[in-house]
Structure 1
Amino acid sequence: MFRTQKIVGFLLLTLLTFSLDGFAQERYVLPVDKAKNDPSLARFRAKLIEATREKNQNFILSIIDKDIKNSFGGDDGKESFKTIWHIERKDSSFWEEFLSVITNGGAFYKESGNQKTFCAPYSFMVFPEDLDAFEYSIVFGENINLRSQPNLLAPVVAKLSYNVIKADYENSADDGRNENSYVWVKVTTLGGKTGFIVSRYVRSPIGYRACFQKLKGAWKMTAFIAGD
């Protein structure tokens, strides 16, 4: 009898521990925006956002540092930036990507020589160091619908806000309705929730980010880069 009680007690403890571990697994990367701490940067960013929405290539080129870092392959400099992005075209992918980057917070870090650098979006700056940035992504938004299937009519499994997720891009899907169809990404949260969310709400911490430094009294973009 006593042995049976010990076994039952052990099983209950195991189940309770497993359940608590399951809840503890859910993790989040909450938005951070330190630009507001520097009034000159806040003013600069407001102008930059406006220029990006207007697709004002002249303004963008005026704030790019001559040695801007464009990749990890050595294609640096302003001329390489122009060749890569073709921002003279209104349909350049730069505009949508860059707007998403500069409208989603960010934080400062110090380069060698105490040069202060601001990088956006926040997801790059505050992603947990104990997680592999190549393996995990985050939900880039609040109360995002996680659906059972890759379409807007599928049941909502959960609402996600800034969760750390694993994205299964191989099982991405286009709902195929029309030319404005959504691309859906299959994701799993660390707490075990699985389903599909619209791709624009999935952000890799090593996706495109922009970095800015104040050089000779003016803010300049010193990097627009992806990867690690």
Structure 2
Amino acid sequence: MRTALLLAAFLCGPALADRQSFPPVDEADRDPSLVEFRETLLAKIAARDVDTIVALACPDIYLSHGGDGGPEELRANLVLDPQTLSEEYREDADAMREQYWTDLENTLSQPGYFDDEGEFWMPHQWQITLPASLDAHLAYFVTGQNVSLRQQPNRDAPLITRISHEVVILRDHQSSAEYQRVLLTDGTQGYMHSDFLWPMTGHRAAFVKSDAGGWQLCTFVSGD
């Protein structure tokens, strides 16, 4: 069951919602076979073992909101032949391929939780339900403990407060910026280092136990 986040309509004015913290709790230890599966899969990712990773995926693995899914789409994403890209992106194929591997490894390394169906989802903050009135693309999760919120976008700027595992809003995300201007749910505004911000529409993944009793990677997707 996803945890409700009561943000009210704070985008319309300051200080309309209390701040809430969602400390990470990894429930994987509830099933030793899951721990073993995740460790094996992460080792194969580190080794760039495409064949084994594809073999550990569900026959209908969900990979995008517009694609067909399935192991062959996963293989194509892991290999990323430049010839499958439009000409304007072919020179970026190596960087795009490496980013996919990095996103997969980072996502599967996150704390996760079991949903009501017994599926194991990562990262743990995916269980937070945002209000329908909030554009999910503006919401980010602060992944660190005691992360500095500063008055200006640099590490020497005066400290406003420290943030631990909260949802914040970025109205104007700057993809190449070291610091982002964020809005807390109580209306406080300041600058936070980009390394600690995970988009709430970012990558998430799910492990599902097959009828035969083995775990499989069945979802790896981003977007709302």
SS in 1 for 2:68: coil
SS in 1 for 2:72: helix
Q: Answer whether contact 1:139 1:201 (CA < 8 A) is retained.
A: yes
Paired with 1:56 and 1:159, the residues of 2 have a C-alpha distance of 40
How far the C-alpha of 1:158 sits from its partner, in A, is 2.1
TM-score, normalised on structure 2?
0.74
> Structure 1 regions of 5+ residues with no counterpart?
1-20, 175-182
2:114 matched to which residue of 1?
108
Q: How many equivalent pairs are there?
A: 195
The amino acid of 1:192's aligned partner reads G
2:144 matched to which residue of 1?
141
> Structure 2 regions of 5+ residues with no counterpart?
1-13, 82-93
Higher radius of gyration, 1 or 2 = 1
1:14 matched to which residue of 2?
none
How far the C-alpha of 1:24 sits from its partner, in A, is 5.8
Task: Render the CA deviation track for 1:40-62: whole Å, top value 9, x for unaligned.
Answer: 10111122233334444343223
How far the C-alpha of 1:171 sits from its partner, in A, is 4.9
2:88 matched to which residue of 1?
none
SS in 1 for 2:220: strand
Correspondence 1:19-168 to 2 at 5 A? 22=15, 25-86=18-79, 92-111=98-117, 116-125=118-127, 127-130=128-131, 132=134, 133-168=136-171
| RMSD between superposed Cα atoms in Å | 2.7
Paired with 2:149 and 2:46, the residues of 1 have a C-alpha distance of 29
Paired with 2:124 and 2:188, the residues of 1 have a C-alpha distance of 24
Q: Answer whether contact 1:86 1:92 (CA < 8 A) is retained.
A: no
Q: Answer whether contact 1:29 1:138 (CA < 8 A) is retained.
A: no
Paired with 2:221 and 2:30, the residues of 1 have a C-alpha distance of 24
Residues 57 and 147 of structure 1, relative CA distance in 2, 3 Å threshold:
farther
The amino acid of 1:49's aligned partner reads L
**RCO (CA 8 Å, sep 6+): is it higher in 1 or 2?**
2
TM-score, normalised on structure 1?
0.73
Identity %: 28
SS in 1 for 2:59: strand
Residues 99 and 144 of structure 1, relative CA distance in 2, 3 Å threshold:
farther
Paired with 1:222 and 1:148, the residues of 2 have a C-alpha distance of 42
1:224 matched to which residue of 2?
220
